């Protein structure tokens, strides 16, 4: 049983990883400057930065603060969480490989699995009518997280990973 190469095309920001984050709120070595993130718990037992960032976006932008443990409403927790994630307009995607994951904050993702060729109209993507909505969602997300990506603006990113 091995790994299969895959790729995705994402419109957003490359955030890097804990080895070298690609936003300005880091120390001189590229590691997270936890003092700049009051919402981030860097305790060894805490979920990682990306997990906590996702929870922050759900709470602050989508108004979803529930967890499986605190869910008390009528209905399906996962359906409610999925609806909240859709309201965000952004997702975190992971690329690279298992031990060294890298992260993208994206407003649009086109995923391609191993053995698949996908025709992509680049001109259509660049002029996509949803792009202003994507830009606004990305702006809200980076503002809410308090990060300043080193990328000048959201861009199309081609990312490889192993699944």
Give tens-digit pLDDT for 71-80. 766 678 888 8
Q: Is the pLDDT of residue 45 over 70?
A: no
pLDDT at position 67 is 79
For the stretch 23-33, pLDDT in tens is 999 888 888 88
Kindly list the distances between the CA atom of residue 66 and the CA atoms of 13, 49, 54, in Å, as whole numbers in the listed order.
27, 18, 13
pLDDT at 156: 96
Mean pLDDT, rounded, for 125-147: 96
pLDDT digits (tens, 9 = 90+) for 82-121: 999 999 999 999 998 878 899 999 999 999 877 788 899 9
pLDDT band at 2 (very low <50, low <70, confident <90, very high): low
Q: What is the dihedral of CA 75, 77, 83, 86, to 10 degrees?
A: -170
Q: How many structural domains comprise the chain? A: 1
Residue 161's pLDDT band (boundaries 50, 70, 90)? confident
Predicted confidence at residue 46, as pLDDT, reads: 52
Q: Which domain holds residue 22?
A: 5-162
**Closest of 105, 138, 136 to residue 21, by C-alpha:** 105
pLDDT band at 5 (very low <50, low <70, confident <90, very high): confident
């Amino acid at each position: 049983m091995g790994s299969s190469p895959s790729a995705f095309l994402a419109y957003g920001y490359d955030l890097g990883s804990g080895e070298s984050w690609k936003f300005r709120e880091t120390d001189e070595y590229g590691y997270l400057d936890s003092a700049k993130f009051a919402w981030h718990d860097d305790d060894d037992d805490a979920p990682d930065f990306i997990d906590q960032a996702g929870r922050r976006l759900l709470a602050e932008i989508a108004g979803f603060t529930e967890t499986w443990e605190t869910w008390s409403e009528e209905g399906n927790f996962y359906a409610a969480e999925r609806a909240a994630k859709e309201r965000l307009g952004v997702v975190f995607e992971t690329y690279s490989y298992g031990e060294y994951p890298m992260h993208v904050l994206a407003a649009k993702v086109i995923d391609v699995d191993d053995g698949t060729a996908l025709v992509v109209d680049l001109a259509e993507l660049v002029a996509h009518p949803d792009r202003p909505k994507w830009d606004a969602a990305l702006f809200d997300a980076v503002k809410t997280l308090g990060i300043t990506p080193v990328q000048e603006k959201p861009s199309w990113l081609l990312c490889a990973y192993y699944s």
